[in-house]
Amino acid sequence: MPTQLRLGLYYCAIFIGTGASLPYMPVWFRAQGLSGAEIGVILAAPSLARIIISPVAAVWADGFRLRRTPMVIVGAVAALAYGIIGLTHGFTAWLLAWTIAAAMLGTLPSLADVMGLRLSRREGFSYPVARSLGSVAFIVANLCVGALLGWMTPDLVLFWTIGAAVLAAVFARLLLPAEPVHEGGEGPPRSSRLRGLSDLMRNRGFMLAVVGCGLIQATHG
């Protein structure tokens, strides 16, 4: 199977989950009796958490031998956290589980982007085509789950998202190539990776780009 298609299918696994969870998990929380204010807090928490989780996850992921390994782990953790949402009850438990689940699932596209950009440069395929398959999957999941909710209970959203996270973990292991994180052996120690992150945070051009992207993302949807 061509690498471009493998990568595209992996993006599909990620975005069929977010395509259902982002618009429709509020329906599930409402069905459990939460107020609009409580649902708003739960939905906002992962975005705030990713301010810390995303850079830490990047440093952590660079410590592995293969790029797909942390993607398998993160997908599995997301599936477990979504499962915990269904097994627990109450605002605090759901807040914690949702924050972990959504933050983990939201980390996967960035990890996949790093691999995809490297592979596309080396193998000469179109990275945007592979990435666009994920966008199509998001739209399809959004429409399908929305239609199914017309005659099924909101539990569908939770089961769908758990299945998508499991699929993302499985696809990361079975479809993604064994791309090394560091060419020629072991990477730098954690202290060096953290120093690199600190240097990046002090780069004015980089931080301006981050702020600009954040402002654009804030208007998304």
DSSP designation for 64: S
Distances (CA, A) of 154 to 16, 29, 48, 82: 16, 9, 26, 14
Q: What is the block-wise mean pLDDT of the chain (221 residues), using blocks of 10 residues?
A: 90 94 93 92 88 80 87 95 93 94 90 90 89 94 94 93 95 92 63 58 69 65 50
Where are the chain's structural domains? 3-187, 189-221
| 63 φ/ψ angles, rounded to the nearest 5 degrees | -90, -5
Specify the residue for token string 């699929």: 167
3 state SS of 180: strand
pLDDT at 171: 95
One-letter identity of residue 48: L
Tell me which of 2.40.10.340, 3.40.80.10, 3.40.50.720, 1.20.1250.20 is the CATH number of domain 3-187. 1.20.1250.20
- The C-alpha atoms of residue 205 and residue 199 are separated, in whole angstroms, by 12
Both tokens assigned to 22: 């982002």
* DSSP-derived secondary structure for 106-135: HHHHHHHHHHHHHHHHHH---HHHHHHHHH
pLDDT at 2: 87
Both tokens assigned to 135: 């966008």
> What is the pTM assigned to this prediction?
0.85
One-letter identity of residue 210: V
- For residues 97 and 88, the answer to whether their CB atoms sit within 8 Å is yes
pLDDT at 65: 86
